Chains A and B, each alone.
Chain A
Amino acid sequence: EAQVTQNPRYLITVTGKKLTVTCSQNMNHEYMSWYRQDPGLGLRQIYYSMNVEVTDKGDVPEGYKVSRKEKRNFPLILESPSPNQTSLYFCASSTGGGGPYNEQFFGPGTRLTVL
């Protein structure tokens, strides 16, 4: 089944404790991205990756890191989480390229709480 998976689905952590949220897709998509969803703000893009080893900042990259060593995986890293990073996070993938193939497929979400 074609899908985007994220782990963990729920995470409660404390300020400053490094964490990684994994994202994996099995559709051989070039493009992957991370969003955070906050009430009233919709989804805001954190980082995106056009392909392996190619990443770029989205609208709200501060406090986050990403890597794209393999096509299928795109982990989101919070080196020193803070309470303002409490949010619902979605990973997405698409064939990318800016053309007519960029319908994005979303993962199930990771609800992160930073105390």
Chain B
Amino acid sequence: AQSVSQHNHHVILSEAASLELGCNYSYGGTVNLFWYVQYPGQHLQLLLKYFSGDPLVKGIKGFEAEFIKSKFSFNLRKPSVQWSDTAEYFCAVNGPYNNAGNMLTFGGGTRLMVKP
């Protein structure tokens, strides 16, 4: 079965610092990749997604992620974080299509705190 690893459980940064959150998945093939964000007390919202094409995808709020197929990775980046980016971030993988149907497998989440 597909599994997703987020290696950093807690990250603390100062404002304007650069951010990179790691995400690796276990099972190759054709997959769809997502990053979701959960602000305190709120539900999950989509930050960005990768289905095909350019492996560098840009999302909302200045976030981007790079899909590296050979490394089974989909790391999230932001050049300069803001206090309002304080949230929990989840990587998620759908597929491969012929194995996991339309199940979405989430990583354990990374809790980001940005100090003003």
Report the Cα distance A90→B92, complex, angstroms.
15
| Chain B interface residue bracket vs A | 20 to 34
Number of interface residues of A (CB under 8 A): 29
A98's partner among B43, B92, B94 (CB-CB below 8 A) is B94
- State whether A33 touches B107 (Cβ < 8 A): no
Report the Cα distance A99→B51, complex, angstroms.
9
Chain A, residues 25-63, CB within 8 Å of chain B (1/0): the string is: 000000101010000111111001010000010110000
- State whether B43 touches A109 (Cβ < 8 A): yes
- State whether B97 touches A98 (Cβ < 8 A): yes
- State whether B102 touches A50 (Cβ < 8 A): yes
- State whether B106 touches A43 (Cβ < 8 A): yes
Report the Cα distance A42→B46, complex, angstroms.
15
Contacts A31-B102, A42-B108, A103-B49 aside, 12 further interface pairs with beta carbons under 8 A come to: A40-B109, A41-B108, A44-B106, A48-B102, A59-B105, A92-B44, A97-B102, A98-B94, A98-B97, A98-B101, A99-B97, A106-B44
Q: Please list the residues of chain B having a beta carbon within 8 angstroms of any beta carbon in chain A.
A: 1, 4, 6, 9, 32, 34, 36, 42-46, 49, 51-52, 90, 92, 94-95, 97, 101-109
